Amino acid sequence: MASQTKVDYDAIGIGAGFAGLALIHYAREAGLSVRIFDKATDIGGTWTWNRYPGAASDSECFYYCLTFSRELLQEWSWSVRYPGQPENLRYMHFVADRCKMWPHIQLNTAITRADFDEAAGIWRITAADGSTSTCRYFVSAMGMISEPVIPNFKGMGRFKGPCFHSARWPEGLDYAGKRIGIIGSGATTVQMLPEVAKTAAQVTVFQRTANFIMPAVQKPMTPEWEKEIKANYDKIINTCRNHVFGMCFNSPVGRTIEGTPPEEVQRILEENWPRGSFSFVFETFDDLLTNAESNRIAGEFVIRKMLEKVKDPDVRDMLTPKGYPFFAKRPPLDHNFHEAFNRDNVKLVDIGEREPLVEITETGIRTTKQDYDFDIIVLATGFQAYTGAQEALAIRGQNGQLLRDKWEDVSGSIMGVFVAGFPNLFMVTGPQAPFANLPTSIEQNTMYIVDCIKKMEAEGLKLCLPKQDAEDSWVAHTADIHRQTLMAQGDKVYSWMMGANLNNRQPRVLIYFGGANVYYDKLRESVNSGFPEVAFA
């Protein structure tokens, strides 16, 4: 029997980024009433929070977008291969405008708790101002990499100038002529450094671990290229849907480093390097990520190519990734990051081994060797990926269990969507979903969630009860696959992908590494067999 309890909305989602927009589309298409809450002042998710100079997508524009409307894909025009934050945000406004989504969106609303009311079989969602809304289906659309991690450095709060996380860049901050210290050297810093170095008086990057970095090769969208893209959207969407990382690459290519003569390997790597993007990994050889020796050869090539741009041998040494395989951490794409270190106003400090960071002072940053004075400190220290957003609010399921308590030791789920003990809760790209081109994964997840809801609506089912044994199987399967990957090769591999950037948590398997395409197939199999991972009541 369907719930007789009156609710404010059929579905409530938190998060007005790509996932929230996709949810509005697919829920509305299914005839559901839907409300999206977001604490931000604008839609956009990642693209409204990450306003640091140089912020851009690392996926190419033509597949870093929502695909549910062929009309929208034809109407929108990108200006460059990797659009910057303002352009991505404009695109999301275009989607919301054209699809008349705004009436479903409530901004400036921080949700602080979500409680499952067992007697009524509904979710009660509470905002910071105490207002509540009820729904039958509660969807976390809060993003995979959205909750900033601010390390607890000694002296935090003492610095007199602006000190903020990279995802909270203050609007209108004038950094021209200023001395800037950046802690962290991940994908964010790789994008930010070249841009801020243009006008800052001085920029110092405090790096703990060096990265493998591949060239982005930014370029303008030409009319010919746009025409070709727009004529091939069905193929592009299909390629992403069937790609191991949800991206538009033609892989497998049908050759391996192991099976290719060494000179030919070098020729092919050399030929593909200037193309930019992740094509270097996906469209050269099929064994880069699976064969240790092939990975070593490709990794050495990457190191040689990236460091030949750096003049100072000491800086080259510091920028050399050591102790972990290529692609075991998410490699950033380079927009003149290495060249920035050739500028007189850019300095690199190794806080990994040479001079660990001791504390933040009133005037800057102290390492074991020296005091560095700054006007601005940027904490480009990453995010609590996959679980951070959900754990930032109090989500209570059956018996009042808190989701963050359930995830204390293992951040388990069923396919990144369901959690046992949390009826009618659905996550878009939750923990143990793949790490892939996000719009692709988001749409696949959202279609899956709405298919489950459609079944419940059609059959008069009130509750979707994820099964604990299905969760245990997915957790075990995800761990088993992880053990077979590069990510399981030693301590140095640990990154946000393992939740290893959190002081208060043991590293854990947060990502399904069995291939996004395989995962999307599993979602479809689940739909076709009536969602065997959950019980309905």
Binding-site ranges for ligand NAP (CB under 6 A):
56-58, 145, 151, 183-189, 191, 208-209, 330, 351, 380-383, 495-496, 501
Residue from 185, 206, 194, 277 nearest 495 by CA: 185
Q: Measured from the CB of residue 500, what is the shortest distance to ligand NAP in angstroms?
A: 7
Residue nearer to ligand NAP on the CB measure, 249 or 383: 383
CB-hemisphere CA count at 13 Å for 265? 20
Q: Where are the alpha helices (DSSP H) in 6-82?
A: 18-29, 46-49, 70-75
Q: How far is the CB of 435 from ligand NAP (least distance, A)?
A: 7
- Does the N-terminal peptide bond of residue 252 adopt cis geometry, omega within 30 degrees of 0? yes
- Closest distance between ligand NAP and the C-beta of residue 71, in Å? 27
CB nearer ligand NAP, residue 54 or residue 423: 54
Q: How far is the CB of 299 from ligand NAP (least distance, A)?
A: 16
The residue nearest ligand NAP at its CB is: 186
Comparison of 101 and 289: residue with beta carbon closer to ligand NAP: 289
Please state the closest distance from residue 142 (CB atom) to ligand NAP, in A.
15
Q: Which is nearer to ligand NAP, 336 or 495 (CB)?
A: 495
* Dihedral sign of CA atoms 139, 141, 143, 149 in order: negative
Closest approach of ligand NAP to the CB of residue 382, in Å: 3
Sign of CA pseudo-dihedral 89, 93, 96, 101? positive
Q: Report the alpha-carbon angle 332-336-342, nearest 5.
A: 120
Which residue number, 108 or 506, has a Cβ lying nearer to ligand NAP? Answer: 506
Residues 6+ apart with CB under 8 A from 488: 482
Which of 108, 98, 89, 96 has the alpha carbon at shortest distance from 22? 96
Determine the distance from the C-alpha atom of residue 162 to the mean position of all C-alpha atoms in its chain, rounded to a whole number: 26
Decide: 325 and 46 in contact? Cβ < 8 Å.
no
With respect to ligand NAP, which residue has the nearer C-beta, 381 or 390?
Answer: 381
CA dihedral 511, 516, 518, 523 (to 10 degrees): 80
Which H or E run contains 371? strand 371-373
Give the integer Cα–Cα distance in Å for 287 and 253: 10
- In this structure, what are the phi and psi dihedrals at residue 71, rounded to the nearest 5 degrees? -60, -45
And the tokens for 23? 């949810």
CB 99 within 8 A of CB 69: yes
Query: Least CB distance from residue 502 to ligand NAP, whole Å?
Result: 9
Q: CB atoms < 10 A from the CB of 408, how many? A: 12
Output the smallest distance, CB 386 to ligand NAP, in A.
Answer: 11
- CA nearest to 60, candidates 87, 20, 96: 87
Give the CA-trace dihedral at 251, 253, 255, 261, to 10 degrees.
-110
Q: At closest approach, how far in Å is the CB of 243 from ligand NAP?
A: 17
Closer by beta carbon to ligand NAP, 26 or else 62: 62
The strand ranges marked E within 15-121 are 34-37, 105-106, 111-117
Among positive and negative, which fits the CA dihedral 420, 421, 427, 432? negative
Q: At its nearest, how many Å lie between ligand NAP and the CB of residue 203?
A: 15
Between the alpha carbon of residue 534 and those of residues 126, 140, 215, 227, 360, the distances in Å are 26, 18, 44, 44, 49
Closest contact distance (angstroms) between CB of 297 and ligand NAP is: 24
Buried b (16+ CB within 10 A) or exposed e, 170-192: eeeeebeebbbbbbbbbbbbbbb
- Min dist CB 408 to ligand NAP, Å, is 21
